[in-house]
Amino acid sequence: MKNLPTMKETKAFMQDNKKTIVGTALAIVILYALAIAYTLFSDDKVEEIKEINPATGLELQLITDAEYKALLEDAVRFDFYVENTEGYAFTNFNLLEAVLLSPEVYELIHSVEPIVATEEIEAMEEGNIPANYMIDVDTDYDTSELHITVGTGDEAKNTAIATLLYQAIQDETLPFFANKSVYLLSEPHVVQLEKGPEPTDETGSASLPLYLIMGAGLFIGGLLLGMLLAFFRLFFKKEITDVFNYRMSDDDTVLDLSHTTAAEQETALAHGIQHPAAARKLILSEEPLAPAVQKRLEQMTGAPYVFAQSVLAADPLLHFDEVILVSRKNGTTKDWYKKQRTLLENYATPIKIILI
């Protein structure tokens, strides 16, 4: 059974597959950088997702972060609690916000306080403050109370609109509250908001160190993914790789010379073939051995070596004291090796595998 890879084998695996490993990590980081660049530089505007009835004259706008903050200056809010006919708290703030954004309510607001853009919001055309920024409804899930916040960038306008809505809810002039019990918890008052009623898609607030940390994390994750891809790729290669198990018998001898230098490998290969001494050895390799190695072996007295590319090429009447399979990593094919091992089952001869 093949043991767990040693540190030397692990290092060799990393070296052989460094292009796949590092390439995968770099590809992920580059995609991440492109995504950040696209988010930061391609468009600094916020796309609205709520549709406003054209009858109100309020068109959807794409507003910048600076314009968005200007809408939140001196926003006005009031709090209330609503129960339905069953006596349960009503907390569907999205439905209530849709009611307040309806054309009927906007006509009521516009008749009292005309909706115009403030001077601070230069990119907006006059009369086109986005409705889903101007009025926001949210809820406190702990207490079930609702909050209505008005933000136009003008405190007086905010107060006027919030007071109008406050009176409409108090006087039950809005049909939506006809079958509900309403408890007003606070009068309209100015609030300072750190972030607005509607979330934006802007990422400019994220710090550079955070991006760098996330990038480093993705690079490390990319390295691990690259190692995993390289590992699985080895299983599907037709050539013999690091994950191939040469041993088909506990009696097999495996001599790994694949990590030796080119200058050392020729001498080490010849030495591995020569030792131990024997009357005759069969040397099998899918491709012929290097001429220098083969010449060196053939010059020995008696030359007890038979070189072949297949067991079938050897004289079946000869007796061999040892069979040596020379396998080149990422060169010798798995099919060739398995075929030779099948044919060698007919030989009661010790087998040595030399990896180069």
Please report whether residue 259 resides in a domain: yes
Element (H, E) at 138: strand 135-139
| 310/279 same-domain check | yes
| 80/139 same-domain check | yes
| 85/171 same-domain check | yes
| 228/174 same-domain check | no
| 34/60 same-domain check | no
| 156/59 same-domain check | yes
Please report whether residue 2 resides in a domain: no
| 170/71 same-domain check | yes
* Structural domain boundaries, residue 92: 54-191
| 168/220 same-domain check | no
DSSP secondary structure letters along 57-110: T-----B-HHHHHHHTTTEEEEEEEEE-TTSPBP--HHHHHHHHTSHHHHHHHH
Please report whether residue 26 resides in a domain: yes
Model confidence at 24, pLDDT cuts 50, 70, 90, reads: very high
- Alpha carbon distance 298, 239 (integer Å): 29
- What pLDDT digit, counting tens, does each position of 191-239 carry? 877 654 444 333 344 567 888 899 899 999 999 999 999 888 877 889 8
- Alpha carbon distance 243, 230 (integer Å): 11
Give the residue-averaged pLDDT of 319-328: 96
Model confidence at 13, pLDDT cuts 50, 70, 90, reads: confident
| 183/58 same-domain check | yes
For the chain, the domain total comes to 3
Instruction: Look at residues 73, 80, 65 and name the one whose alpha carbon lies nearest to residue 156.
Output: 73
Other residues' Cβ atoms within 10 Å of the Cβ of residue 84: 12
CATH at residue 300: 3.40.1010
Give the residue-averaged pLDDT of 318-347: 95
Please report whether residue 245 resides in a domain: no
Please report whether residue 47 resides in a domain: no
Please report whether residue 136 resides in a domain: yes
- What pLDDT digit, counting tens, does each position of 41-95 carry? 654 444 444 444 444 444 444 456 666 677 778 899 999 999 988 888 998 888 8
- What pLDDT digit, counting tens, does each position of 118-163 carry? 343 333 444 455 555 678 888 888 899 999 998 888 888 889 999 9
- What pLDDT digit, counting tens, does each position of 272-319 carry? 999 998 999 999 999 999 998 988 888 876 778 999 999 999 999 999
Please report whether residue 48 resides in a domain: no
- Given a contact cutoff of 8 angstroms between Cβ atoms, the answer to whether 314 and 282 are in contact is yes
Mapped onto helix, strand or coil, the DSSP state of residue 248 is coil
Instruction: Look at residues 274, 237, 234, 227 and name the one whose alpha carbon lies nearest to residue 255.
Output: 274
| 75/23 same-domain check | no
- Alpha carbon distance 287, 331 (integer Å): 9
What does the pLDDT read at residue 352?
97
Please report whether residue 12 resides in a domain: yes
| 184/136 same-domain check | yes
| 112/35 same-domain check | no
